[in-house]
Amino acid sequence: MVMADFRLVEINNLSKAFDGNVILDNISLDVKKGENLVVFGQSGTGKSVLLKCIIGLITPDQGDVSINGQLTKGLNIDELNTIRKKMGFLFQSAALYDSMSVRENLEFPLSRHTNLSSKQREEKVRETLRMVSLEKSIDKMPSELSGGMRKRIGLARSIITDPELMLYDEPTTGLDPITTKEISELILNLQRKLNMTSIIVTHDIVCAKIIADRAIFLKEGKIAYEGSIEELTNTTDIFLEKFFSTEIIKD
C-alpha cells in the first residue's frame, strides 16, 4: 500500500561521471513508502549506478540521497551501515557467497545484525526459504543452483532482515519467460506481504508490468519519462516506441 505523503527515498540533483563520461546528470526523484518504482533505460544509462548511489556503494559527484529523511552524504561507515540494515539489495548476479551453503548465506546477516538464537535463526532461514519455494535447497552450495534458484536465494538473503527498502538490479535478466514471471510475481507478493518499498532496475517489460506502481525512463543520464507503465508503453515518443517495440508482449 503506497503511503501518499511519506517519501522514503529522496534524491536531489544527483550527478555522477566516470573518467569524464557523465552517467547521471542532475537527477531528482522521490519514492513513496510502499511504492514499487521501476527504472528503465538502455544499457549504460546509469540505472545500476543510481541504485549503487542510493545504497552508498558509489559516492555521487554532486547531489544527495535521503533515506527515511536522513541524508547519506557525509555519514561515517557506522552511520551508513545503520541505514543499510534497513535496506536490501538484489544483485544482477545474485552475488551469493561461494564459500557458504544456502543456509549459511541466509544466516550470515542474521548472525551479524540480530540477537536471535541459533534455533530462531534456523526457523527464520527456513521460513524465508519457504517464501521463495526453495526450502529443499537449504544445504546446497551456490554452485549447485540454477540461475533462477540463485536469484531466489539472493532475494531470500536480501529480505531475511525484513528491510523497509529493497533495491533490485535487473532481477530477471538472463531468465526464461516462465521464471521471469515467477520471480516478478514473487517480488510483488513479498512487497505486499512485507509492505516493502522497492526500486527495480530492469529492461524487462513483463517484469515491470507485474510489479510497477510507477516507472521512470533514464536517457543520457537524465529522467526522460516518468509516469505509469501503461502510459510508458503506449507513448507516441519515437525513442520510447522503438525501445519497447521489441519487448512489449501483448495482453
- Which residue ranges make up the site for other proteins (CB under 8 A)? 52, 55, 57, 77, 81-82, 84-85, 87, 89, 91-93, 95-98, 108-109, 112-113
- The half-sphere exposure of 158 on its side-chain side, counting CA atoms within 13 A, is 29
Longest CA–CA separation in the chain, Å: 57
Q: Which residues pair with 14 in a beta bridge?
A: 27
Nearer to other proteins, 1 or 77 (CB): 77
Using only the alpha carbons of the chain, give its radius of gyration.
18
Nearer to other proteins, 80 or 248 (CB): 80
CB 85, min distance to other proteins, A: 5
Residue 75 corresponds to which amino acid? L
Nearer to other proteins, 41 or 163 (CB): 163
Name the nearest CA neighbour of 25 among 6, 46, 56, 55.
46
CB 25, min distance to other proteins, A: 22
Determine the angle formed by the axes of helices 102-113 and 147-159, rounding to 10 degrees.
Answer: 20
Q: Where are the beta strands (DSSP E) in the chain?
A: 7-18, 21-32, 36-41, 62-67, 70-71, 87-90, 165-169, 197-201, 214-219, 222-227
CB atoms inside a 10 Å sphere around CB 237? 14
CB 103, min distance to other proteins, A: 16
CB 244, min distance to other proteins, A: 28
CB 87, min distance to other proteins, A: 7
Nearer to other proteins, 167 or 240 (CB): 167
Nearer to other proteins, 6 or 97 (CB): 97
Nearer to other proteins, 113 or 192 (CB): 113
Nearer to other proteins, 52 or 209 (CB): 52
CB atoms inside a 10 Å sphere around CB 99? 9
Coil, strand or helix: which one is 170? Answer: coil
CB 84, min distance to other proteins, A: 4
Coil, strand or helix: which one is 241? Answer: helix
CB 15, min distance to other proteins, A: 17
